[in-house]
Structure 1
Amino acid sequence: MFKIGDFSKLSKISIRMLRHYDEIGLLTPTHINKINGYRYYSANQLSTTNRIRALKDMGFSLSSIKEILTEYNDRESLIRYLNIHYSQVREHLEDTQKKLLKIETTMERIGRTDIMKNYDVTIKDFAPKYMMTLRKTIPTYQDEGMLWHQLFSETKGHNVQVDVPNYSKAVFYDVGYKENYVDVEIQLAVSGNYKDTENVKFRTVPSVTAATAIVKGNFNQLTDACEAIGNWISDNNYDVDGPMFNIYHIGPGQDSNSDNWVTEVCFPVRKK
């Protein structure tokens, strides 16, 4: 089982929202410690959080999502329900383009549930690396590009030699998933020794052991990779042991085509 903070990161749902889901009966912890009140969740609840997020992104209210998960738990009835909502959304096309896209994507995935991509989770030991780093609080996860822009702007003219092949990371330090004001550090492996700038620090990042999964394509798939890692951690008797991070083997900085991106999702772990 996972503590609420670790489950928050794996599910990409804030601690505050997980508590709210518990209060309204949408997602109840597997276990609550009677002495200290700590909530614990199981790995098999990650698939439920993915369904909740997908339905929420389509515009369904939490009460409707609770109804869907309770009464429309087979593929045919869920498709019928989604088709009804699809027709309603079409009447407000200009204001609901994003919701329509979510519905279409979800209906497609329901139709090919049996052939959905499986992520191979492996345990890796990452050696120490000398890296230039920049840590800041950014508005949302989608604003990570601001950090990379500042990193390169602030070190322009310093003749920094980037390691080849590229080894760039983003470390997410918040205890749980957050919707706003996210504490993120980006790291890029470099060769040589350099002086710190106002915000960019050069340091050796220590070794870490992590459960990892490779994602090929756009970042929308990262949630599924987190689910696979969460199940692996639970099945193999490990605990999460530090802030999760992404390694961008091929990212927006190297290739503008998201189909070619390669991201390694990593959760530090230790044996129980």
Structure 2
Amino acid sequence: MLKIGDFSKLSRISIRMLRHYDELGLLTPETIDPFTGDRYYSEAQLFAAGRISALKDMGFKLCDAAEVLRCWEDREALEGCLLAQRELSRLRAEEAAKRLRLLDTALERLRKDEPMKYDVTVKTIPERYVASVRQVIPNYDQEGSLWSIFMKETAHLRIQDSAPCLCVALFHDGDYKESDVDVEIQKSVKGVYPDTEHVKFKTMPAVQVASAVCKGSYDQMGDVNAAVASWVEANGYTFDGTAFNIYHVSPHETGNPDDFVTEVCYPVRKK
């Protein structure tokens, strides 16, 4: 039998953590001296301690590690636990990779002495005739599915683009949503065409907007929206309609996110 201090040295787990494992029922002492309260572990428990440390290194929480240990001898159940943890780790890695890209972009702009803000102007988008598709989609990243519907259902109509041709995405939800978002895409056209199953043709009225143009990936959209919102508040305007983006250079024109050009527009009016 090993005293807790000796077991701590051999297992490379602190005494404090061993006591915590005991509280969780994860690794309890083999015996406890009823008179002194000294804790004793068996040499065989070193294997259990090693398994717990390995599971922690794999990212398992201690509460989950207890469940994994219970099915350690069940190969199929153990494989299921490991596969689930692997998928969770993969998702976390994707999130970490996205954060790294955002940091790299911010650092690159900073080193180029680019301002960390966007110029905001007020202008009027003139009346335009558009082809429109509006649906509730799982999330904002699925906007491309609406453009696919548009292309598929209008291919036979031989639609002519207006000049200038504006490709727009409107966001009808008042607030940012994590899922089930109400998005409408529009392309300004000239001529008259019949509606299809999902594509509707209509005239959009002129609208005054506060807008800012940004060049680069969509990762910076949060910063652009914040810049426009701050400008509106500071300059005596109030929001007056559905926000939208104009895609001057989109993934349809280039596969390089650094070349995207997007104009963020908020309909506004003077207070």
What secondary structure, in the 3-state scheme, does the structure 2 residue paired with 1:186 have? Answer: strand
Give the 3 Å change call, closer, same or farther, for CA 235–252 of structure 1 in structure 2: same
Aligned counterparts of 1:203 and 1:104: Cα–Cα separation in 2: 42
| Residues in 1 aligned to 2:270 and 2:239: alpha-carbon distance in whole angstroms | 9
Matched, 1:243 2:239: no
In 2, the alpha carbon distance for the partners of 1:242 and 1:250 equals 24
What code does the residue aligned with 1:237 have?
A: G
Which residue number in structure 2 is paired with residue 177 of structure 1?
A: 176
Q: Which residue of 2 aligns with 1:132?
A: 131
Q: Distance in 1 between matches of 2:148 and 2:114?
A: 38
> Which is higher, the Rg of structure 1 or of structure 2?
2
1:204 and 2:203 correspond: yes
* Aligned counterpart for 2:94 among listed residues 74, 98, 103: 98
TM-score normalized with structure 2 length:
0.62
Code of the residue aligned with 1:170 in structure 2: it is A
Amino acid of the residue matched to residue 147 of structure 1?
L
Is the alpha carbon distance of 1:131 and 1:103 closer, same or farther for their aligned partners in structure 2, counting shifts above 3 Å? closer
Aligned partners of 1:166 and 1:249 also within 8 Å = no
One-letter amino acid of the structure 1 residue matched with residue 151 of structure 2: F
Equivalents in 1 of 2:107, 2:236: separation in Å?
Answer: 31
Letter in 2 for 1:128: E
- CA-CA distance at 1:259 after TM superposition: 1.1
Aligned twin of 2:19: none
Aligned equivalents of 1:193 and 1:179: distance in 2? 37
Q: Residue 95 of structure 2 aligns to which amino acid in structure 1? A: K
Q: How many residues align?
A: 181
**In 1, are the aligned partners of 2:248 and 2:263 still within 8 Å (CA)?**
yes
1:227-259 deviation per Cα after TM superposition (whole angstroms, max 9, x unaligned): 110110111011111110000011011111111
> 1-side partners of 2:219 and 2:138: how far apart?
19
1:213 aligns with 2:187: no
Partner of 2:226: 227
Q: Contact 2:210–2:228 at 8 Å: present in 1 too?
A: yes
| Structure 1 residue 215 displacement after superposition | 1.0
Partner-residue secondary structure (3-state), 1:214: strand
Partner Cα separation in structure 2 for residue 106 and residue 155 of structure 1: 37
Measured after TM superposition, the shift of residue 102 of structure 1 is: 4.1
Residues 103 and 136 (structure 1), Cα distance of their counterparts in 2 relative to 1, 3 Å cut: closer
Instruction: Rate the CA distance shift 1:162–1:173 in 2: closer, same or farther, 3 A.
Output: same
What is the TM-score normalised by the length of structure 1? Answer: 0.62
1:102-181 matches, within 5 Å, as 102-105=98-101, 108=104, 109=106, 112=110, 116-181=115-180
Q: Is the 8 A contact 2:102 2:219 kept in 1?
A: no
SS of the residue corresponding to residue 156 of structure 2 reads coil
Q: Alpha-carbon deviations, 1:135-169, whole Å to 9, x = none?
A: 11111000000000001101111111123443100
Structure 1 runs, 4 residues or longer, greater than 6 Å off: none
Letter in 1 for 2:139: T
Q: With CA pairs under 8 Å and 6+ residues apart, which has the higher RCO, 1 or 2?
A: 1
Aligned mates of 2:206, 2:171 — CA distance in 1: 17
How far apart, in 2, do the equivalents of 1:172 and 1:234 lie? 20
**Secondary structure of residue in 1 paired with 2:179:** coil
**Would the alpha carbon gap of residues 237 and 142 (structure 1) be closer, same or farther in structure 2, given more than 3 Å must change?**
same
Query: Is the CA contact (8 Å cut-off) linking 1:211 and 1:269 kept in structure 2?
Result: yes
Show structure 1 runs of 5+ residues with no match: 1-91
Name the SS for the 1:175 alignment partner: coil
1:199-242 CA deviation, whole Å, 9 max, x = no partner? Answer: 11111111111100001011111111111101101110111111
